[in-house]
Amino acid sequence: MIDLSAPAIEVAPLLLGATIWRGPVGIRLTEVEAYMGLNDPASHAFRGPTPRARVMFGPPFHVYVYLSYGMHRCVNLVCSPDGEASAVLLRGGRVVAGEDEVRSRRGNVAENRLACGPGNMGSALGATLEESGNPVSVITGTTVGGEALEAGLGAGARWRLEPAPNIVEFRQGPRVGISRNTDAPWRWWIPKDPTVSGSRT
């Protein structure tokens, strides 16, 4: 099980190969970044629990959705114990379920580009700003009857996280698209995957 109450830098690599679900849409994650709150100048939570960043201070097992450049809705998973801000930004992934619904939002773009980049990820999922702070459940397995078992504060939630079936190979390096704390190696991605938005090597 993925424990979202751990710090984002511990959770982030475990999310690679996992599938994030919002309703019928499922996206297998291939690229993520961690943001560490008060100790990370690149984080929205660096200046404390402002109205926008308050969700990052917990509790974990919730989504944090924010608007980037006035148009892109970016999706994060809130991590760390309640009161300790950190979150993982979902930067890229491959649509594995609900492609017709995704294309109704993203249009006639190449399959690899449907959820490539944080803005496209948010659009593919249909995320809204009003959902910031909504719960996320983590799928922990299935019962004999085939029903999913879920854990976390968001058990039964619209947002669900399905752990990767196997450990995946990954790379780690600096985050992209930021101007502060640029050397922190808090970006993780699956190498050579075409859905990764930054460096793929």
User: Rounded distance, CA 45 to CA 57, Å?
Assistant: 8
Q: What pLDDT shows up at residue 150?
A: 59
Structure tokens at 183: 């050397």
User: Rounded distance, CA 154 to CA 167, Å?
Assistant: 25
Q: What pLDDT shows up at residue 141?
A: 67
Burial of 178 (0-12, 13-18, 19+ CB in 10 A): middle
Name the architecture of domain 8-189.
Answer: Roll (3.10)
Q: What pLDDT shows up at residue 143?
A: 42
The list of the chain residues with pLDDT below 50 reads 143-146, 153-154
Structure tokens at 173: 């390096």
The answer to whether the pTM exceeds 0.75 is: yes
Distances, alpha carbon 33 to alpha carbons 48, 75, 97, 156, 193, in Å: 20, 11, 23, 26, 16
Q: What pLDDT shows up at residue 72?
A: 87
User: Rounded distance, CA 98 to CA 113, Å?
Assistant: 15
* 191 upstream amide cis, omega within 30 of 0: no
Q: What pLDDT shows up at residue 71?
A: 76
User: Rounded distance, CA 158 to CA 40, Å?
Assistant: 30
Q: What pLDDT shows up at residue 46?
A: 86
117-166 confidence digits (pLDDT tens): 999 999 999 999 999 999 999 998 654 444 555 555 445 578 999 999 99
